[in-house]
Structure formats: C-alpha cells, structure tokens
A = this chain, B = another copy of it.
Amino acid sequence: MTKQRKVILEELHKVTSHPTADMVYEMVRKRLPHISLGTVYRNLEDLADQGEIRKLSIDGTRMRFDGNPEEHTHIRCIVCGRVDDIHFAPTVSMQDSISDNGYKILGHKLEFYGKCSECRKKDEIMKAKEKKRKSKD
C-alpha cells in the first residue's frame, strides 16, 4: 500500500460519482501533484483485481470506477451521463416507468457474467492435468 494507492482509494471513497480514470487523476493530483496518470490507471486496475473497488463498463468507451465494491445497481442519465447508485432489490417486475431518485426511468440493463460451458470444460482438463502431475511425484 503505497501512498499513491492509499490516496487514490481514499479519494474514490469520498465520492459517489463513479468517476473515470481521468477524473480520479484530477482528484488525486490536488493532494499528490506529481502523480502520473499511468500510476492512477495501474492502481485502479490493481484495486479492482483485489476487489477493493469496482470497474464499471456502463458508459460508452471509457471505464468508470466505484469505491463501493459490493454488487449494487446503478442508474444512468441518458442526457448528461451521470451515474448514481440506486436501492433496488431485484425481485419483482422492473418494467415501465417507475420513479426513484427523481429519475424518470426509461429502461434497464441486466447482464449476467459467468463461465461458459467451453471454458468450464477447459478448466476440468486443466484440473485433471494438475492432478496427474501431482500424483507423479
């Protein structure tokens, strides 16, 4: 935990705005004027890998970062692009135009992630090989 990484994490915890890497860079720069953008990118990546933060792909081309690593739901404005957290228990029909947070909800996006059958097969093969290798010695 370098001081750069510490400050990046702290700044990300301060906001609920789901900033881009560039925005995080600007935030952190106020406290560490000599930090480089590459360092911000690398630490954001590392923190996301460790599950300390979350990397969001909800915008178009740029990633956004979330200091809250818990799985939760987001709401994005199609006009200005801002992203907010929304309290939502995904149980009943989430159709049509409900209002929450002052938003007029126009639709939703739901995406699962996981491992497909092909990759799971490959996993099994790898595991089998691992077993074989271990039993050899």
User: Is A61 part of the binding interface, using a Cβ–Cβ cutoff of 8 Å?
Assistant: yes
Chain B nearest CB from A126 CB (Å) reads: 12
**Known contacts A80-B116, A90-B93; is-contact A58 B111 (Cβ 8 Å):** yes
In contact, B113 and A76 (Cβ under 8 angstroms): yes
A7-15, A30-38, A98-106, A127-135 - interface stretch = A98-106
In contact, B107 and A109 (Cβ under 8 angstroms): no
**Known contacts A60-B57, A110-B109; is-contact A103 B91 (Cβ 8 Å):** no
In contact, A76 and B106 (Cβ under 8 angstroms): no
User: Is A1 part of the binding interface, using a Cβ–Cβ cutoff of 8 Å?
Assistant: no
User: Is A23 part of the binding interface, using a Cβ–Cβ cutoff of 8 Å?
Assistant: no
Task: Name the interface size band of chain A.
Answer: 35 or more
Q: Which of A73-128 contact B (CB under 8 A)?
A: 73-80, 82, 84, 86, 88, 90-94, 97, 101-120
> 16 additional contacts, CB 8 Å, given A57-B60, A108-B110?
A61-B62, A75-B113, A76-B111, A78-B113, A79-B116, A80-B118, A90-B108, A91-B91, A101-B116, A102-B116, A103-B115, A105-B113, A106-B114, A107-B113, A108-B112, A109-B109
